[in-house]
Structure 1
Amino acid sequence: MYTRVSLDTEGEALGVARQEQECRDLAARSGFDVVAVFTDNDTGASTRSRKKARPQYAAMLDRARAGEFGVIVAYSNSRLTRRPLELEEIIALYERYGVRFATVVSGNDDLSTADGRMVARIKASVDATEVERTAERVARKHLESAREGKPVAGTRPFGWQPGGRELDAKEAALIRQAAADIIAGIGSYTIARQWNAEGVTTSTGRPWQGRVLGRMMQSPRLAGWRIHQGSIAIGRDGQPVRGQWEPVLDQATFDAVVAALNPEETRSRVPRKNARHYPMTGTLRCGVCGSVMYGNAAKYPTYRCSDNVHTVAASVGPVDELVTGLLLRKLSDFTVDEPAPEFDGAARLAEVERDLARLIGSFTARELSAEVVFPAVAQLEQQRDEVRSQKRRIEAAGVGPDYRGVNQAAWDRMSMSARRGLVETLFDAVLVRPATRKGNRFDASRIEWVWRGGTAAT
Structure 2
Amino acid sequence: MANAAIYTRISLDAEGEALGVARQEQDCRDLAQRDGLNVVAVFSDNDIGASTRSRKKVRPQYADMLRRARAGEFGVIVSYSNSRLTRRPLELEELITLYEQHAVRIMTVVSGNDDLSTADGRMVARIKASVDAAEVERTAERVARKHLASAQEGKPVAGTRPFGWLSGGRELHPQESKLIREAATDIIGGVGAYAIARRWNEAGVTTSTGRPWQGHVLARMLKSPRLAGWRIHQGQIAIGRDGQPVRGQWEPMLDQATHDALVAALSAEDTRSRVPHKNARHYLLTGTLRCGVCGAVMYGNAAKYPTYGCSGNGHVVAASVAPVDDIVTRLTLAKLATVDLEAPKPEFPDADRLAEVEASIAQLMASFTARELSAEVVFPAVSALEAERDELRSQRRRIEAAGAAPELAKVDRAGWDRMSVDHRRAVIEGLLEAVLVRPATRRGNTFDAERLDFVWREIPTDPS
Normalised by the length of structure 1, the TM-score is: 0.83
Taking the aligned partners of 1:356 and 1:130, their CA distance within structure 2 comes to: 35
Q: What is the deviation of 1:324?
A: 3.1
Whether 1:184 aligns to 2:186 is no
Taking the aligned partners of 1:248 and 1:124, their CA distance within structure 2 comes to: 48
Tell me what 2:304 maps to.
Answer: none
Q: What is the deviation of 1:85?
A: 1.0
Taking the aligned partners of 1:283 and 1:198, their CA distance within structure 2 comes to: 30
Whether 1:384 aligns to 2:389 is yes
Taking the aligned partners of 1:298 and 1:428, their CA distance within structure 2 comes to: 18
Whether 1:223 aligns to 2:228 is yes
Taking the aligned partners of 1:358 and 1:211, their CA distance within structure 2 comes to: 37
Q: Is the 8 A contact 1:101 1:109 kept in 2?
A: yes
Q: Give the one of 211, 214, 226 matched to 2:219.
A: 214
Taking the aligned partners of 1:370 and 1:23, their CA distance within structure 2 comes to: 52
2:23 corresponds to which letter in structure 1?
R
Q: How does 1:276-425 map to 2 (within 5 A)?
A: 279=285, 293-295=295-297, 301-302=308-309, 313=317, 315=319, 317=321, 319-331=324-336, 334-336=339-341, 338-342=343-347, 345-388=350-393, 400-403=405-408, 404-405=410-411, 407-414=416-423, 419=425, 422-425=427-430
Taking the aligned partners of 2:271 and 2:195, their CA distance within structure 1 comes to: 25
SS of residue matched to 1:295: coil
For the aligned residue pairs, the C-alpha RMSD in angstroms reads 3.5
Q: Deviations over 1:345-364 (max 9, x none)?
A: 45434433343334334444
Taking the aligned partners of 2:287 and 2:202, their CA distance within structure 1 comes to: 32
Taking the aligned partners of 2:165 and 2:300, their CA distance within structure 1 comes to: 48
Taking the aligned partners of 1:445 and 1:41, their CA distance within structure 2 comes to: 68
Q: What is the deviation of 1:235?
A: 2.2
Tell me what 2:165 maps to.
Answer: 160
- Structure 1: tracts of 5 or more residues without a match: none
Q: Is the 8 A contact 1:48 1:135 kept in 2?
A: yes
Tell me what 2:99 maps to.
Answer: 94
- Structure 2: tracts of 5 or more residues without a match: 1-5, 302-306
Taking the aligned partners of 1:195 and 1:357, their CA distance within structure 2 comes to: 41
Taking the aligned partners of 1:219 and 1:261, their CA distance within structure 2 comes to: 11
Q: What is the deviation of 1:430?
A: 4.6
User: Residue 234 and residue 283 in structure 1: after superposition, are their counterparts in 2 closer, same or farther (change >3 A)?
Assistant: farther
SS of residue matched to 2:268: coil
Q: How does 1:60-99 map to 2 (within 5 A)?
A: 60-99=65-104
User: Residue 366 and residue 199 in structure 1: after superposition, are their counterparts in 2 closer, same or farther (change >3 A)?
Assistant: closer
SS of residue matched to 1:36: strand
Q: Is the 8 A contact 2:299 2:310 kept in 1?
A: no
SS of residue matched to 1:86: helix
Tell me what 1:108 maps to.
Answer: 113
Whether 1:200 aligns to 2:202 is no
| Mean CA deviation greater in 404-413 or 173-182 | 404-413
SS of residue matched to 1:72: strand
2:254 corresponds to which letter in structure 1?
L
Taking the aligned partners of 1:446 and 1:21, their CA distance within structure 2 comes to: 80
Whether 1:437 aligns to 2:435 is no
Q: Is the 8 A contact 2:406 2:430 kept in 1?
A: no
Tell me what 1:262 maps to.
Answer: 267
User: Residue 432 and residue 73 in structure 1: after superposition, are their counterparts in 2 closer, same or farther (change >3 A)?
Assistant: closer
Taking the aligned partners of 2:447 and 2:115, their CA distance within structure 1 comes to: 88
Q: Is the 8 A contact 2:53 2:140 kept in 1?
A: yes
Q: Deviations over 1:79-113 (max 9, x none)?
A: 11111111111111111111111111111111111
Q: Give the one of 120, 130, 136 matched to 2:125.
A: 120
Q: What is the deviation of 1:429?
A: 6.4
Q: Deviations over 1:92-151 (max 9, x none)?
A: 111111111111111111111111111111111111111111111111111111111110
SS of residue matched to 2:226: helix
SS of residue matched to 1:247: coil
Q: Deviations over 1:198-224 (max 9, x none)?
A: 443332334434333232222221111
SS of residue matched to 2:127: helix
| Mean CA deviation greater in 27-36 or 136-145 | 27-36
User: Residue 266 and residue 195 in structure 1: after superposition, are their counterparts in 2 closer, same or farther (change >3 A)?
Assistant: closer
SS of residue matched to 1:131: helix
1:70 corresponds to which letter in structure 2?
G
Q: What is the deviation of 1:152?
A: 0.3
User: Residue 338 and residue 444 in structure 1: after superposition, are their counterparts in 2 closer, same or farther (change >3 A)?
Assistant: same
Q: Is the 8 A contact 2:405 2:430 kept in 1?
A: no
User: Residue 316 and residue 120 in structure 1: after superposition, are their counterparts in 2 closer, same or farther (change >3 A)?
Assistant: farther
Whether 1:138 aligns to 2:143 is yes
1:48 corresponds to which letter in structure 2?
R
Q: Is the 8 A contact 2:406 2:427 kept in 1?
A: no
User: Residue 296 and residue 175 in structure 1: after superposition, are their counterparts in 2 closer, same or farther (change >3 A)?
Assistant: closer
